[in-house]
């Protein structure tokens, strides 16, 4: 008995489309990795610029080279699932990181080793699900500040 597989050209087109879908998925993965590397590179460049400016300002003012981490203050704003962490202080914050209990499960694009000048901000996403809620608070750490600062997460 012979098995009839139907139209061979349709099966070939189906196999090719499956292969193309697999390549597209792989391309999206590499695109995401590339975007994350770009953000890290931009953060590193901003950090280097901020540290250079800080050093020049302290030398011009005749002050010893010290990090002014205590002149950094933070505010956290919420716009739906986007959160804006703003430096409302007077000093540049370097090595800025956002963390906290449950953050890894609900957050994306979280600042890592970022540099944030006075008045500027970094943003990230936090979206809860049935399994994991958006946390009630986040921890912000930065260079020159020994303890993490706890910020309440604004309600919707």
The predicted structure's pLDDT at residue 64: 46
* pLDDT, position 123: 96
Per-position pLDDT tens, the chain of length 156: 565 666 777 777 778 888 888 888 888 878 877 777 777 777 767 766 776 776 666 666 655 444 444 689 999 999 999 999 999 999 999 999 999 999 999 999 999 999 999 999 999 999 999 999 999 999 999 998 889 999 999 998
Distance CA 112, CA 18 (A): 37
Length of the chain equals: 156
CA distance 154 to 151: 9
How crowded is the C-beta side of 150, counted as CA atoms within 13 Å?
5
Q: Characterize 67-90 residue by residue with b for buried, 16 or more Cβ atoms within 10 angstroms of its Cβ, and e for exposed.
A: bbbeebebebeeeeeebebbbebe
In CATH, 8-156 is 2.60.40.10: yes
Q: pTM for the whole thing?
A: 0.60
Q: What is the pLDDT of residues 61-91, one digit of tens each?
A: 655 444 444 689 999 999 999 999 999 999 9
């Amino acid at each position: 008995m012979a098995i009839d597989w139907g139209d061979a050209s349709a099966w070939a087109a189906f196999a090719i489309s499956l292969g193309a879908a697999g390549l597209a998925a792989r391309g999206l993965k590499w695109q995401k990795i590339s975007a994350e590397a770009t953000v890290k590179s931009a953060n590193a460049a901003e950090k280097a610029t901020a540290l250079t400016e800080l050093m020049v300002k302290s030398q011009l003012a005749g002050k010893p080279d010290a990090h002014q981490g205590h002149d950094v203050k933070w505010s956290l704003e919420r716009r739906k699932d986007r959160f804006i962490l703003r430096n409302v202080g007077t000093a540049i914050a370097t090595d800025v990181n956002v963390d906290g209990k449950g953050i890894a499960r609900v957050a994306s694009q979280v600042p890592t080793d970022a540099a944030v000048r006075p008045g500027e901000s970094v943003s990230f996403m936090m979206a809860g699900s049935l399994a994991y809620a958006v946390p009630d608070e986040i921890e912000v750490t930065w260079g020159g500040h020994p303890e993490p600062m706890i910020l309440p997460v604004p309600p919707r």
